[in-house]
Structure formats: structure tokens, C-alpha cells
């Protein structure tokens, strides 16, 4: 289990845990980033936001939020 910030571009990962409080959990789940979701890292975020693909949607996530998303590499 590693934070999303440690995953390089092009990797597909599975979300295993969301760190932080209820507000962060609600926000991430509202964006489709829930435990068990598979996402692809399009852009690692240095510099700028992390760009991920969830199903057919691309999302931009700040580094602070990406640090709270714990994943396993597939």
C-alpha cells in the first residue's frame, strides 16, 4: 500500500484506503474515487496536479489530496 503520489505515469492502481477526515472522504467519493476503484495515472503531477482516469473520466487532483489516496499497483 503506497500513496498515489508515489505512482508513476502510465500505471493502473486500485484504491485500498482513503486517509483524512469525513470531508475529504465525501469529496473523493463524490469524484468517483472510492475504495476498490481502479484508476490510471495519466500525469504524475510534478509540476502541477495529478491527472488520473477513472472509468471514462479524467480528474485533476492536487498533491495534498493525492497523498491521502492509498493504492496498490496492479
Q: Mean pLDDT across the stretch 38-57?
A: 92
Element containing residue 22 per DSSP (H, E): helix 22-30
Whole-prediction pTM: 0.90
Residue 51 has pLDDT above 90, yes or no: yes
Reference 50, options 35, 37, 36, 69; nearest CA is 69
CATH superfamily of 2-73: Ferrous iron transport protein A (FeoA) (2.30.30.90)
Residue 47 has pLDDT above 90, yes or no: no
Q: Mean pLDDT across the stretch 3-31?
A: 94
Amino acid at each position: 500500500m503506497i500513496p498515489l503520489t508515489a505512482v508513476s505515469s502510465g500505471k493502473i492502481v486500485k484504491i485500498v484506503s482513503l486517509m483524512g477526515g469525513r470531508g475529504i472522504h465525501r469529496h473523493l467519493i463524490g469524484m468517483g474515487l472510492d475504495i476498490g476503484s481502479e484508476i490510471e495515472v495519466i500525469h504524475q503531477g510534478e509540476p502541477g496536479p495529478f491527472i488520473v482516469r477513472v472509468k471514462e473520466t479524467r480528474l485533476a487532483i492536487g498533491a495534498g489530496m493525492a497523498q491521502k489516496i492509498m493504492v496498490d499497483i496492479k
